[in-house]
């Protein structure tokens, strides 16, 4: 018999992830602040709940996919949170991207109550969540990871246990450094091409298959040409992740100059009210500096 799963947080990423668990045959109980979203999931075969506590009462494994560190702390530790009703022996899997330090603290608190805790942030964007091909980097006890592996396999393809509690979040921050800086490099290449008069689509085709190829170039480049700035991953969430990176770098007394620069460029973009646009909107800041538009 498959484990009873609770899923808290049904945003851009959480919705398709929860749907893939339903498709895999898991009994899923869902909760999010928007009642209409819960009702839509009821129609798809999930059970609805009115609080995190209620989700935990009905579940053996509870997955959280919410915005930021305080949100996870409230959902897990709050008076109406998961720990208030999850049975000893149960497991919490946080798939949000949050502070590694806070993650370790929550894992320790859970351990004292006989609850297992895994930090399992994801990469792959909305498309990967829909297709069930996410990369999932998991921190926590390896035996707990192995017991939850079939659950992860319903949502992702590249699933790796990366170390003890907090390691999943640290690896995700490595991912976000590479993603953000590569995004900036892609935008600079497009700006250079547009300013020099090179045919944009042909340039894109020529470099995508070589050493310059990247997920950003393949997936976000064409969207920029079409002036499509709808979010697969929002600017404000990228900024939240970059703040986590820079806080951890500060703790480590580590210089990350390129990461700091792209964070500042996103600050400039946010000042224009583009918080909810996709991260490909970074090109707009460079367009303003260059006096050119990247457009097919």
Size of the chain, expressed as the number of residues it contains: 296
| Strand-strand pairing, 5-8 and 61-64 | parallel
Rounded Cα gap, residues 121 and 138, in angstroms:
7
Instruction: Report whether 122 contacts 95 (CB < 8 A).
Output: yes
Rounded Cα gap, residues 262 and 168, in angstroms:
23
**Dihedral (C-alpha) 141, 146, 151, 152: value to the nearest 10 degrees?**
70
Is 146 an active-site residue? no
Rounded Cα gap, residues 137 and 171, in angstroms:
7
Phi/psi of residue 157, nearest 5 degrees: -120, -45
Rounded Cα gap, residues 213 and 190, in angstroms:
13
Rounded Cα gap, residues 198 and 229, in angstroms:
22
For residue 238, give the H/E element and its range. helix 235-251
Instruction: Report whether 140 contacts 165 (CB < 8 A).
Output: yes
Rounded Cα gap, residues 230 and 125, in angstroms:
13
Per annotation, catalytic residue among 15, 113, 172, 236: 172
For residue 153, give the H/E element and its range. helix 142-153
Active-site annotation, residues: 172
């Amino acid at each position: 018999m498959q484990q009873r799963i609770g899923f808290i947080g049904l945003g851009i990423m959480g919705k398709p992830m929860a749907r893939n668990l339903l498709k895999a045959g898991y009994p899923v109980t869902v909760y999010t602040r928007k009642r209409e979203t819960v009702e839509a999931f009821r129609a798809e075969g999930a059970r609805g709940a009115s609080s995190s506590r209620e989700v935990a009462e009905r579940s053996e494994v509870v997955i959280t996919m919410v915005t930021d560190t305080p949100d996870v702390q409230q959902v897990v530790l709050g008076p109406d949170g998961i720990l208030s009703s999850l049975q000893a022996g149960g497991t919490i899997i946080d798939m949000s991207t949050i502070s590694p330090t806070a993650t370790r603290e929550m894992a320790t608190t859970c351990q004292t109550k006989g609850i297992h805790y895994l930090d399992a942030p994801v990469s792959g964007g909305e498309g990967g969540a829909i297709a069930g091909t996410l990369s999932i980097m998991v921190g926590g006890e390896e035996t707990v990871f192995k017991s939850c592996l079939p659950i992860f396999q319903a949502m992702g393809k590249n699933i790796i246990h990366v170390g003890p509690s907090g390691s999943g979040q640290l690896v995700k921050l490595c991912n976000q450094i590479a993603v953000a800086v590569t995004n900036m490099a892609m935008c600079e290449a497009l700006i250079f091409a547009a300013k020099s008069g090179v045919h944009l689509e042909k340039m894109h085709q020529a470099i995508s298959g070589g050493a310059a190829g990247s997920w950003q170039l393949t997936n976000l480049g064409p969207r920029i040409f079409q002036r499509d700035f709808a979010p697969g991953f929002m600017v404000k969430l990228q900024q939240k992740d970059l703040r986590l990176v820079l806080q951890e770098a500060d703790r480590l007394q580590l210089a990350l100059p390129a990461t700091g620069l792209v964070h500042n460029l996103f600050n400039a973009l946010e000042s224009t009210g583009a918080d909810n646009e996709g991260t490909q909107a970074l090109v707009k800041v460079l367009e303003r500096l260059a006096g050119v538009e990247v457009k097919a």
